[in-house]
Amino acid sequence: MVDYRDVLQALEKVGKGDFVELSAEFGLRFDKAWEILTENRVKLYVFWPSGRVMWIVVGRGFDYIVYDQAGYCSCDDFFHAVMDRRARACQHLIAQRLAQILRDYDVIEEDDGLFGALMSDWRLSL
């Protein structure tokens, strides 16, 4: 599997405004990730009182779970391209990391009691 730390290191370039290099490095996936970011589709759910967090990227038809620390996304592209080493990251992972670096995401606070129901909904969208 691709070492997600390499992807994170590459995306740190966004802080330097190196968008051309990032687009060249990640191709169409970076362009799609930028579109996701500009459409405000990256969400950080924070559950209380546990403080548990979940990154969700709202897709066109589905919502995708992103585990940023593991470099995992629930989308098909992750399974078919990233796991097969044909891509370094899917557009959702890139969008999540860009949003985190730029602090450009919505924070949605929910009660811990809703965690199970939301996870069921997100998993059904897979």
As a whole number, the mean pLDDT across the chain is 84
Q: What is the pLDDT, as a whole number, of residue 16? A: 53
Report DSSP letters for 14-53, one per residue.
GGGT-HHHHHHHHTHHHHHHHHHHHTT-EEEEEEETT--E
Q: What is the pTM of this model?
A: 0.82
Q: What is the rounded average pLDDT of the residues 11-40?
A: 79
Reported as a single tens digit per residue, the pLDDT across 40-95 is 999 999 999 999 999 999 998 889 999 988 889 999 999 998 888 888 899 999 99
